[in-house]
Amino acid sequence: MKTYLKINNQIFDHLLIILCITYFLKIFIFPLNFEMGGSEIHYIAYFKDYLNGFRNFEFIGLQNERWHYQEWRWGVYIIPFILKIFVSFENAVFLSSPIIFFLSFCLLILSLRKYLSFISIIFFSIFWIIHPEITKFTYSFSTLSSSFLGISIVIFLLSFEKEIISKFGKRPYLIFLILSFFFLYGSRETNLIFFPFLIFYIWKNFQRRDFYFFLILGTSLYLAESILIAYITNWQFVSGRLFYHLIGDNSWIDFMQNDKLRFGDDAQSIKSFSRKFLDGGIFSRWYFTGLTSNFFYIFALIYSVKNIFDKKNNLEKKISLIYLSYFFSISLIMVKLVPLVPFIHFNVGIQIIGLPLALILFLLFLDELMKPIKNNIIKFVFVGFIGVLLSLKSLNHFHKIDYKILKNNNYNLINMKKHVDKVYKIVNDSDCISVKGSYIHLIYVGDNQLDKKIKNKLINSIKDNEMEYINKSSSGKFYKVKFSKKCKKIFKLYKFQIIN
């Protein structure tokens, strides 16, 4: 284990446990608002569909067709499905992503313990805990949580490769690796950007019969998934999820070349923005990195190219190879060559899945850079200065936005169910609501808690004019939805936060 400081293993382990406990308390006792946008509501509605055996799917305000490829992202629903055995539907929805991000964090800390110094692990932990987009997706029922878990499992397997092979053998390790990548694919199709690494890694480091085993097992898993989807849809989709996603009537290739929303209407969106650039996003997408400094992505690219020529098959080289697979796949794959149209739009939610890899590579470099420095105080000051410099976006966001939300928040994850029950009780007793953003979460999140008359009013207000609903919900302003002619009892609501 590398370390700047003379800390014995037992103290180091205790400090890592304290880091994990701190992160746990931050997530569950001091939560931010849960994201309740279109994507989150889709996945919540699909989760309900899974729970009722695909028999009764209500898709008003979501999409025009019964089936959609997002419903088959089964990796998203595994943890919520397990949670639902023990807790209510609402708790399964609100607890799943925080639990998954906590597990991902702990897996990464455990994986990096052997390879990073104590100071670098502190850097990694603080950067992760205060990063606004990681925090945002922690409170989002979406593909990001399961994708983060998938990449964390992959890093764990790569970091403990020797130990796992020594205990279980090479073939079981290969099966673990294939299943972890299949889980990534099961969470989101775009996670196939990591698969060039898997193909190369197995070809390079395993025997040919192991490579053929990988092809057979991978094909078998895809066929099993395809047969299950065909059976659930009464054999409406028999060619498999990936084929339907890429080539079917609602294919991603067509989707990226038009401005249609899922309602069938045209509107400006992230995909239309992504088509504006002559380079097809090959270079320009790395300028639009949200609240993450693009330094990490660009540095990791340069450092990875240097590492792949290293003869040692160490973690640094493995992380570099998987990062290059991610970077060049997301940059170079196009749905159209003239003009260049990117296959993956400028979606921070897709892009950020590579951030843990980029951050690990930067910290491995930082450890090497700090080796000649003997004075521990200088090391702490220098690393702290670099940390603040590279976390300015996160620190400013916390100061200007997150702190105000935390100060005004009227719930935590321990009492979330009671808070949701309270919201529904107030809504049911109201004449109208004043809401910012979408109100569709009131229809889908509660487990039959919303009054039927109010539910019908909300559904009809969407059906009567879908574009008006979209424009109002995306305006960033409060607007009224009436349940009765006289609006005496008005309830002001933002997501599940009660506004006094």
Q: Are 50 and 228 in contact (CB under 8 A)?
A: no
Look at the pTM and tell me if it is higher than 0.95.
no
Q: Are 285 and 291 in contact (CB under 8 A)?
A: no
As a whole number of angstroms, the distance between CA 268 and CA 471 comes to: 11
Chain-centre distance for alpha carbon 494 = 22
**pLDDT the model gives residue 4:** 44
Q: Return the SS3 of 479.
A: strand
Q: Where are the beta strands (DSSP E) in 302-347?
A: 334-336, 341-342
**pLDDT the model gives residue 487:** 84
As a whole number of angstroms, the distance between CA 273 and CA 271 comes to: 5
Q: pLDDT tens digits for the chain (500 residues)? A: 444 455 667 788 888 899 999 999 999 999 988 888 778 888 999 999 999 999 888 777 777 778 888 889 999 999 999 999 999 999 999 999 999 999 999 999 999 998 999 899 999 999 999 999 999 999 999 999 999 999 999 999 999 999 999 999 999 999 999 999 999 999 999 999 999 999 999 999 999 999 999 999 999 999 999 999 999 988 988 878 888 777 766 677 887 887 776 555 666 677 788 888 999 999 999 999 999 999 999 999 999 999 998 877 689 999 999 999 999 999 999 988 989 999 888 888 899 999 999 999 999 999 999 989 888 889 989 999 999 999 999 999 999 999 888 887 778 898 888 888 898 999 999 988 899 888 888 888 876 788 888 888 888 888 887 778 878 888 888 998 888 888 888 888 888 887 76
Q: Where are the beta strands (DSSP E) in 292-397?
A: 334-336, 341-342
As a whole number of angstroms, the distance between CA 203 and CA 472 comes to: 53
Considering only CA atoms, give the Rg of the chain. Answer: 24
Q: So where are the chain's domains?
A: 252-371, 416-498
The values of phi and psi at residue 491, to 5°, are -110, 120
Which has the closest alpha carbon to 260: 249, 272, 243, 278?
A: 272
Which has the closest alpha carbon to 55: 233, 230, 226, 186?
A: 233
The values of phi and psi at residue 24, to 5°, are -60, -45
Query: Both tokens of residue 374?
Result: 């003997």
Burial class of residue 242 (count of CB atoms within 10 Å of its CB; 0-12, 13-18, 19+): middle
